[in-house]
Amino acid sequence: MQTASPSTLMLDDFYLLTPVKEVRLSPDGKRLAYIQSEAIKEDNDYSSNLWMTLTDGSAESYRISRQMVQDHHIRWSPDGRYLAILSKRGAELELKVPIKEGQDPEEPVDQIWVYDMLWGGEPRQITHRPEGVQSFSWAPDGTRLVFAGRDPSPQQANYLKSIRDKKSPGPLVLDRVQHKYDGEGYLDDVKSHLFVADVKSRSVQQITFGEASEHNPQWSPDGSWILFQSNRTGDADNNRRVDLWLITPDGSTVRRLTQGDVDAQHPAFSPDGRWVAFISSTAPENQYVLTRLWKIALMDASPNSDFPANIGQGWSQIGGVVPDAFAGDPVANARVYPKPLKRSPMEMVSKDFTGTIDGPVIWTDADQILTVASMLGQAKLVSFDSNGKWHVLQPQDRTGTVYDFDAQSSEIVLLMGFPDTGPEAFRLDNETLGPRLSRGSAEWLSNRQLGKFQWIQYANHEGEPIEALVLTPPGFKPGMSRLPLLVSIHGGPMSYEAPEFEFETQYWAGRGYLVLLVNYRGSTSYGEAFCQSIQGSWGPREHDDVMCGVDYVIAQGWVDPERLYITGFSMGGIMTNWAVGHTDRFRAAVTEHGVFDYVSAFGTDDCHLWWQDDMGVPWQNLERYYQTSPASGLANIHTPLLITAGEWDWRCPLSQAEQLYVSLKKRGVPTELVMYPKEHHESDSRPRRAIDRLARIDRWFAQYGGIPVE
């Protein structure tokens, strides 16, 4: 019997995607818990469920949670008996939470749920917080959990009730500089604080209070301290100064670990509890300064008797207000950031590493730290010792990328993706990639014809080497007929293209396009100078790097120079807007969720601090804001342009797309605006939205000489 040959990706294949998103080893290293997501076609939504398997590969994965839920933040108890997660699901019956007459049931928010891995059964709900739980950590004895959660005052609770009223919502009252944030909407002033919950009784004790928020608590190995992150400048919307603090579990004693000169992320205790490793750049407000790996000794923590009333202490200047009068550089004038009174007594662990430290961070012993770090277009698992020596564990070649990992009892598991698998969990055996442990998308993808990646390198017009990935259609061989080219520009710009599975690029390759993915100047993982080269001047350098890549693939004889197409999302959308204003070589373009005019973007998006650090404030530097905006090239745009935007996108607001759309309509340029209602800065927030987007791009390119749509 003849079997059907594998097909290329079809749009409906999107519903088959089941990416693995989080991995956690049991304390003995014998069991692996992970989160796997799937698209539910009937509900037009996603479910993220908890799965389990054995790390020796002797058993198939088993689904633990089987509801339409959003499980995440897996944490094993220290003895391995219990497994706690955050999940949005209906309240547990045992808690007997009353619903008043005429009142709708509460919209589920993240609560802590604990599975008993000895007896099995449904998980037990530990918390019932009206505003949910953000993160948590087990105590070393396994009897308590510390968690962070929003803690509104009675007045704030009444305000929240008012604005959430479905029939007649009250007015939004805004008093913050960071008054909105993408995916969260308009922001209130509710603070997040720390609480300790008894697992057995479910009683809760609040241990932090005051006018600053505390986040991401972690219990020390000996149980004597809880580490947390907090910006206590009193002006957190105008800076990125996140410090590390220590508090005793009863809340009676507080110590300060870092001194206001860091944006400390992914902190992790050493096994002996003497050190904390973390990630920070040396210039927290400058997004182009790469993050490094640091460590700091607990013995260097300073006493703090004024907690929680210590807001603003430790700085000679808090800043935030840009002076009206200035002479000289408007950018320097607007960099009114906190000035710490002293430096943190920290040591750089990654001093000889030129890539970007991404995290998470895990100590395997007193001298070895594992973390994910980006270098030359790949995220890799890297080991650092206390002297700064480092070596790559995986991947050791130029394919694949690491998304997450965990290490326990000499076992290491990677969440790693390849172009033909998507993200899957793998065991690491002596720095060699071991068996695949998860059941994600790899199996069904093996029955599809996928495109092949290859790295290319070429020089831009300044003679600098630029790397890019080329994704060729299935069966492509050099010397075949020239293909239409689809240039896909990555977002960020603090990001990069990697050799990994992406549904959209594989879909384009399956349709017959050669896909060009350029790591233009500004991309991370190629060193700090490469990243900083575009600061304050987006457009010309990135565009040159992309167009030199176009010239390179044309010179190889791979593509038809008369059938060039370009698209990008977010920063990729911005660069698409720039491209069509500076060249007519593309037959059609699609700009997704981008920005057109930086002057009007300021204050309507959620990136005011980024703009301020790059170019100052627009009323003091109007010409520069305009000249570096894609709006400066409007009169030169002739390329047919499809524009997509989200109604609730606060990163790249809908108004930006509307300005570009109306301007092109006035000039007679073929254009169309697609606005997705209630959509944030996302391309696949709902399955049908993800598929609709690709179908529209497909038809737009086909309309202008691209591959015909059946």
> Rounded CA gap, 206 and 249, in Å?
10
What was the pLDDT predicted at 174? 97
Percent helix, strand and coil across the chain, each to the nearest 5: 20, 35, 45
Whole-angstrom CA distances from 530 to 228, 358, 538 are: 33, 17, 13
What was the pLDDT predicted at 684? 92
Which of the 8 DSSP states describes residue 639? S
Q: 103 pLDDT exceeds 70? A: no
> Rounded CA gap, 520 and 287, in Å?
16
Residue 215 contacts residue 300 (beta carbons within 8 Å): no
Residue 20 contacts residue 36 (beta carbons within 8 Å): yes
> Rounded CA gap, 543 and 529, in Å?
18
Domain-wise residue ranges, the chain:
153-190, 445-703
Residue 687 contacts residue 676 (beta carbons within 8 Å): no
Give 289-311 pLDDT, tens digit per residue. 999 999 999 999 999 989 999 99
- Please compute the mean of the pLDDT values over residues 372-379 and round it to a whole number: 97
Residue 77 contacts residue 60 (beta carbons within 8 Å): no
The pLDDT > 70 percentage for the chain reads: 97
Q: What is the CATH number of domain 445-703?
A: 3.40.50.1820
Q: What is the mean pLDDT of the chain?
A: 95
What was the pLDDT predicted at 1? 38
Give 461-515 pLDDT, tens digit per residue. 999 999 999 999 999 988 878 999 999 999 999 999 999 999 999 999 999 999 9
**Which helix (H) or strand (E) element contains residue 333?**
helix 330-334
Query: What tokens does 389 get?
Result: 């020596």
- Cα–Cα–Cα angle for 438, 35, 377, rounded to 5 degrees: 75
Q: 2 pLDDT exceeds 60? A: no
pTM to 2 decimal places: 0.96
Give 83-99 pLDDT, tens digit per residue. 999 999 988 877 665 54
> Rounded CA gap, 559 and 483, in Å?
4
- Please compute the mean of the pLDDT values over residues 539-553 and round it to a whole number: 98
Query: What tokens does 156 get?
Result: 């704030």
In a 13 Å sphere around the CA of 329, the CA atoms on its Cβ side amount to 9
Residue 432: phi and psi, rounded to 5, are -105, 140
Q: What is the dihedral of CA 13, 420, 415, 367, to 10 degrees?
A: -160
What was the pLDDT predicted at 95? 66
Report the b/e string of 248-270 with b at 16+ CB within 10 A.
Answer: ebebeebbbbbbbbbbbbbbbbb
Q: Which of 73, 78, 53 is nearest to 434 (CA)?
A: 53
> Rounded CA gap, 535 and 649, in Å?
24
- Please compute the mean of the pLDDT values over residues 619-636 and round it to a whole number: 97
Q: 186 pLDDT exceeds 50? A: yes
Q: Which of 157, 344, 375, 336 is nearest to 243 (CA)?
A: 344
Q: Which residue has the tokens 């019956």?
A: 93
- pLDDT band for 106, please (50, 70, 90 cuts): low
> Rounded CA gap, 484 and 707, in Å?
8
Residue 133: phi and psi, rounded to 5, are -120, 140
Q: Enumerate the β-bridge partners of residue 144.
A: 198
By the 10 Å C-beta count (0-12 exposed, 13-18 middle, 19+ buried), 325 is classed as: exposed
Task: Tell me the residue type at 646.
Answer: G
Give 115-156 pLDDT, tens digit per residue. 999 999 999 999 999 999 999 999 999 999 999 999 999 999
Give 154-178 pLDDT, tens digit per residue. 999 999 999 999 999 999 999 999 9
- Please compute the mean of the pLDDT values over residues 251-267 and round it to a whole number: 98
Residue 652 contacts residue 595 (beta carbons within 8 Å): yes
> Rounded CA gap, 465 and 454, in Å?
16
